[in-house]
Amino acid sequence: MEKLHLRRYSFGVAPCTAMVLMWSYLAKGNDRLTLVMCAINSLTMLVLYAPLGGFLLGVNAMPIPWQTILLSVMIYVALSLVVGYFSRMWIIKSK
């Protein structure tokens, strides 16, 4: 049961970028504005995800090592940001 709560808090802290992009598309929103807002959100999450996740998990007395939280930030936020940047550059050069 403790793992279920841990997953719930982890997902609650990080908004899903794909969901935001899809809802913007379905609502016929401004694609460029949505993309910029998602990029700003991703950069903000690099800084705020670990403290916010640590705070929320600490409030519920779930001891999670900071190394684990920082590793999840590096894997799920920083790595995807870097891969997205370099894949964009590669696609632009190949056109």
10-residue averages of pLDDT along the chain (95 residues): 49 64 86 84 77 72 74 79 87 88
Nearby residues of 60 by Cβ (< 8 Å), 6 or more positions away: 5, 9
Predicted local confidence at residue 90, as pLDDT: 92
Predicted local confidence at residue 6, as pLDDT: 46
Write b or e for each residue in 46-62: b if 16 or more Cβ atoms lie within 10 A of its Cβ, otherwise e. Answer: eeebbebbbeebeeeee
Q: Are 70 and 19 in contact (CB under 8 A)?
A: no
Domain boundaries defined on the chain = 2-94
Predicted local confidence at residue 9, as pLDDT: 47
